[in-house]
Structure formats: structure tokens, C-alpha cells
Amino acid sequence: MTLPQIYLRPAVTSDLDAILALERATDLAPHWPPAAYADILAEPVSALPDNFTTQRCLFIAEKNGSLVGFAVSLLHPAASNRVAELESVVVSASARRAGIGRALCRAVLDWSRSHGATEVILEVRVNSAAAVALYTTLGFTQVVRRLRYYHGPNDDALLMRLVLQ
């Protein structure tokens, strides 16, 4: 998938340093240990065994050969349906409002759907108005508000859900 000057693709091991640099430069991004990203990058994205427990995908967005965003999703198995969780979407401050977050979310939604997910859930800070608006325009609806869920800065979380068609 491409946008003007933007290229989306599954991340590979050689992207790890750039992913970590962008994540660390983004204050409100979830800050995971480097090993968490390394583990995701070590998983094959294409094959999905019938008896899997969980699987993650990590997509990146590049502009002029530089990483400007990434998204991580987790696929949970269940007996009757599979739920995907959009765990993180990070776009560099200089590249925001250019459709990169939307494109990354769509890549995750397509990946989730192609791997048998019937719905996607996410948590977002209530005060992240742009993120809440993006998720709403993608069709997510609010399920519950979790009071004082985030710290540093303190904020409530919205749990949002999208049923995949």
C-alpha cells in the first residue's frame, strides 16, 4: 500500500533501531523493552499455524527511505472468534496529519481480517483527541471508559472496538 511518497511494509529485523528511536522520541507512545520488538520481528508474518496461541504484526511507514511511523497488532485466538488488538500506532511528529496513521491502521485491519479476526479492539488515551477521531472515522466505537488508567501524564483510557466484516 502506498500514499504519496509513503511506503508501508512489514517490519524486518534491520528496522529495529529506527523503530526504537521513533518510539523513544514519542512521549505518549507505549515504551516497550527492545526485546519485545525483537521478538515480534522474529515471528513470521505470513504463515499462521492452526494451533497458534498468539501472533503479532509490525508494519512500518517509510518516507524517502526513513521510518516515519509504525503499528503493532496482536492476534488473540478464541474458540468461536479471534480478536485482534491494535496495540500501538506511532507516527513521527513531523509526519502527522498526512494519512500515515490511517494507512497503518488499515494495514493492521487488513492483516487482522486475513488472519481470521472477527473484531479489533484498542485502548487510547481520552485526551488524545486526534487518535480518538481517527479510530472513530475508521469505524471503532467506544466500549468502556477506564478511569485513571494511564500515568505520566494521568489520563483515562477508552476501550474501543471494531467488528470486521
pLDDT tens digits for range 98-125:
889 999 999 999 999 988 899 999 999 8
Longest CA–CA separation in the chain, Å = 43
pLDDT value at position 39?
85
Total-model pTM = 0.85
Query: If we measure between CA atoms, which residue out of 32, 31, 37 comes closest to residue 14?
Result: 37
Considering only residues 116 and 59, tell me which one the structure prediction assigns the higher pLDDT: 59
| Contacts for 162 with CB less than 8 Å, ≥ 6 apart | 109, 119, 120, 121, 135, 138, 139, 140, 141
pLDDT value at position 49?
47
pLDDT value at position 53?
54
Instruction: State the catalytic residues.
Output: 123, 135
Considering only residues 152 and 52, tell me which one the structure prediction assigns the higher pLDDT: 152
Q: How confident is the model at residue 76 (pLDDT cuts 50, 70, 90)?
A: confident
Domains along the chain with CATH numbers: 2-163 (3.40.630.30)
Query: If we measure between CA atoms, which residue out of 107, 112, 114 comes closest to residue 162?
Result: 112
Write the pLDDT tens digit of every residue in 1-56. Answer: 555 588 999 999 999 999 989 988 887 777 778 888 888 888 765 444 455 456 88
Write the pLDDT tens digit of every residue in 90-100. Answer: 998 888 888 89
The total number of residues shown for the chain amounts to 165
pLDDT value at position 58?
93
